[in-house]
Amino acid sequence: MTQASAAPPAGQVRDHVAVASGLVKSYGTGDGAVTALRGVSAAFPRGQFTAIMGPSGSGKSTFLHCLAGLDTVTSGSVLIGGVEITGLSRTRLTRLRRDRLGFVFQSFNLLPMLTAEENIRLTGRLGNRRADRRWFDTIVDALGLRDRLDHRPSELSGGQQQRVAVARALLTRPEVLFADEPTGNLDSRSGAEVLGFLRSAVDSYGQTVVMVTHDPAAAAHADRVLFLADGMIVHELAGPTIDQVHAVMRRMEG
Ligand SMILES: Nc1ncnc2c1ncn2[C@@H]1O[C@H](COP(=O)(O)OP(=O)(O)OP(=O)(O)O)[C@@H](O)[C@H]1O
């Protein structure tokens, strides 16, 4: 297996919207301590779609959460848009996540009492109203949600709910969209629709996407796949095909 690339030198940081260097994450102390990340370094170029794969327990979700400022690190550094986030106060971190990052999770995390449109607009800031309206319309139409905007989550299919969650995450034009198993609760057709949209957001709008997935077919939508094993990046594939991803996973799972 090839060695994955380390974080880039300082001069390249501006080309990478997120840079992790030497990330270590331990949970607990003493005999019960678990080290989930053991020195993970990776850089995420602007406008690229990266998938993170690896066996169960290899540290994928921990890595995504540390990278996105949802969890603290034990040591190491995370730069988002050039800002070192590991030392930020809780308030500044919350503001950075709200203003600059988007999130999509396996469970759609929509508010049940709000309509699809209200859910989508929940995190959107009011800036230039006309531009905001245009962008809202662009996302809603691209995701095929136009005739579902007045529905509440319980009146939507899983695929539609996840598309609402993706629209909500993209409304603020985040520097990075972080997705943790976004298709984990969807049938293969709905999953493919969500993945197709993420792909086109990268291709059409230059969106940066970082996605954790178990599914080789999902990972094949990405520009590259980083493979984690036992808290370390052990392999990287560029322009992955489903067969290549399967082959690496088979080797890793022995
Ligand atoms: N809050 C926590 N407290 C203690 N240990 C944790 C915690 N979260 C994760 N871990 C441990 O850290 C390791 C990595 O977990 P993580 O959830 O990041 O793996 P994963 O690759 O995303 O797994 P899966 O594919 O099963 O979701 C595992 O050994 C897990 O048990």
Tens digit of pLDDT for each residue in 200-226? 999 998 999 999 999 999 999 999 999
Domain that holds residue 82: 10-113+173-253
Indicate the top mutation candidate among 25, 26, 34 to test ligand 1's pocket, ranked by most ligand atoms within 8 A of CB: 34
Give the CATH number, domain containing residue 38. Answer: 3.40.50.300
pTM of the shown model: 0.92
Answer yes or no: is 122 within a domain: no
Ligand 1 centroid – CA 234 distance (Å): 17
- Ligand 1, CB cutoff 6 Å, lining residues: 27-28, 34, 36, 54, 56-62
CA atoms within 13 A on the CB side of 210: 28
**Cα–Cα nearest to 59, from 226, 245, 178, 220:** 226
pLDDT score at 129 = 67
Report how far residue 115's alpha carbon sits from residue 110's, in angstroms, rounded to the nearest whole number: 9
Answer yes or no: is 124 within a domain: no
Answer yes or no: is 163 within a domain: no
Q: Are 49 and 39 in contact (CB under 8 A)?
A: no
Answer yes or no: is 229 within a domain: yes
Answer yes or no: is 151 within a domain: no
Indicate the top mutation candidate among 61, 73, 252 to test ligand 1's pocket, ranked by most ligand atoms within 8 A of CB: 61
Q: Is the ipTM of this complex over 0.95?
A: yes
Q: Are 88 and 37 in contact (CB under 8 A)?
A: no
User: Which of the residues in the chain have pLDDT under 70?
Assistant: 1-14, 124-131
Report how far residue 126's alpha carbon sits from residue 143's, in angstroms, rounded to the nearest whole number: 22
**In total, how many domains does the chain have?**
1
Across the strands, what pairs with 83? 80
Ligand 1 centroid – CA 29 distance (Å): 15
Nearest alpha carbon, ligand 1 atom 11: 36
Answer yes or no: is 166 within a domain: no
